[in-house]
Amino acid sequence: MSFNIAFVMFVGFVATVTGCQSDSVRLRHPQTGQIAQCGPYGSYSSQTAAKERERCIVDYQEQGYQRVTQ
């Protein structure tokens, strides 16, 4: 029985971590209307994914893109 509990806890942990890593951000260029997306970065650790996402956002913002709120 304890194996089942451990397995369920492991699956819950993996689902939680995967959900945190899969956040993506959309950006739109106000003049062209083009949409860009940063993420998801599911194969990275959450810390690496956050850094990569922020780098992507900064790169697009330097080109004039703005975040799209949903």
| Residue located via tokens 């029985």 | 1
Q: Is the pTM of this model over 0.85?
A: no
CA quadruple 12, 45, 37, 52: dihedral, nearest 10: 160
pLDDT tens per residue, range 36-51: 999 998 888 888 999 9
Residue 26, domain extent: 2-67
pLDDT tens per residue, range 5-19: 644 454 454 444 444
Name, in order, each residue with C-beta under 8 angstroms of 28's C-beta and a sequence gap of 6 or more. Answer: 34, 35, 36, 65, 66, 68
The answer to whether 63 and 29 are in contact (CB under 8 A) is: yes
Question: CB count, 10 Å around CB of 27?
Answer: 20
